[in-house]
Amino acid sequence: MTTRFAFSIAATDGAARTGTITMPRGEIRTPAFMPVGTAATVKAMRPAEVRATGADIILGNTYHLMLRPTAERMARLGGLHKFMGWDRPILTDSGGYQVMSLSALTKQSEEGVAFKSHLDGSRHMLTPERSMEIQRLLGSDIVMAFDECPPNGVDEKRAEASMERSMRWAARSRAGFDAGAEHAARSALFGIQQGSLDEKLRARSAAALTDIGFDGYAIGGLAVGEGQAAMFGVLDYAPAQLPADRPRYLMGVGKPDDLVGAVARGVDMFDCVLPTRSGRNGQAFTWDGPLNIRNAKFAEDQAPLDIQCGCPVCTTWSRAYLHHLVRSGEMLGAMLMTQHNLHFYQDLMQGMRDAIGAGTFSAFQSDFDARYTR
């Protein structure tokens, strides 16, 4: 029988670690970056192309999929994997963050969050139990507990109350996940640490989650406007508060230098819309820092986006051609820029995995930071 969920650490270098998550639909090499497939698609990319970048797992969005095409319809059509043509692991978020950030009207209570759809104004109720049900109907491989993500800058009292509610919801998520016996037998559930920027609150959150017991643990409540220095300040202690034998997932992060700094502090998994969104808007990520292909200086530049990159975009087309496509509004421009960015992110993750395995991560980080931020 294929392992439901296992995490093994192959090597460490300081706090940085590299390993493998094993699940029925395949292995996930860590540190791992998950491209975001919000509405059952990684925008501007076909599944085979996403896989060819080196991605082992993608992220799907519970909030968007529950509204359109609906989780029930997805289940009738055979689940998210079949629907979108992706046969490897999928992690689905709980929907909580989008409810808070996208809905025009929400009402929070101990039961959950009542909200209006941003699409048509229809009313919905999202609870820990309903979130688990939706993710089960989607056929998610890694299910995220339902939590409350407070905005940046809340006071300590609000942060504490929000964290405590998230821990109560975590226990309900655990019970709701376990109730889906067949799905639970082949999937995994991750808890989410909260506590804003407060070390003591995060320690209490970590202890509560560990007591409940999860397959992996996410660090939530960051990448909400606090800035990189504050985020790294939390990551200086937060990963070590979580069980060392389970994956640690930093939600919604981030820029390439964010990823390197977070891996140095013990994080194993990431997701972010940045490489795809930036690609669609003409920004390429390179080893020498981000590049805006709309810039007039690239109109006759025959070099590839990144001379060090071996992706199909960089080995075929010039900056001049990509500049032309993007400035002309051609959809191929968004597709090729996105493809390059996802390749770059996966190359970065592979570079970190190799460096950790070789015991040279500190040198890798120094070289990367010096070149990328130059």
Each domain of the chain, given as residue ranges in start order, spans 6-272, 273-374
- Whether omega for the bond prior to residue 329 falls within 30 degrees of 0, making it cis, is no
341 DSSP assignment: H
Determine which one of 13, 56, 215, 271 is catalytic: 271
Q: Would you say 22 and 5 are in contact if contact means Cβ atoms under 8 Å apart? A: yes
What does the angle CA 42 – CA 180 – CA 210 come to, to the nearest 5 degrees?
A: 80
Q: Would you tell me which CATH number, out of the four given (3.20.20.105, 3.40.50.300, 3.20.170.30, 3.30.300.250), belongs to the domain 6-272?
A: 3.20.20.105
Please tell me the distance from the alpha carbon of residue 87 to that of residue 101, in angstroms, as a whole number.
Answer: 30
To the query of whether residue 56 is one of the catalytic residues in this protein, the response is: no
Respond yes or no: is residue 271 known to be catalytic. yes
Quote the tokens at residue 63.
Answer: 């909030």
Q: In the 8-state DSSP scheme, what is residue 296?
A: G
Q: What is the pLDDT of residue 2?
A: 64
Tens digit of each residue's pLDDT (9 = 90 or more) over 86-145 = 999 999 999 988 877 876 678 889 999 998 988 999 999 999 999 999 999 999 999 999
68, 355 Cβ separation under 8 angstroms: no
**CA 297 to CA 236: how far, in whole Å?**
40
CB atoms under 10 Å from CB of 357, counted, come to: 14
Give φ, ψ of 83 to 5 degrees.
Answer: -60, -45
Say if residues 99 and 150 touch (Cβ distance below 8 Å): no
pTM value surpassing 0.95? yes
Catalytic residue chosen out of the listed positions 93, 141, 147, 258: 93
Bridge-partner residues for 123, per DSSP?
A: 116
pLDDT confidence of residue 99: 77
Residues of the chain with pLDDT under 50: 1
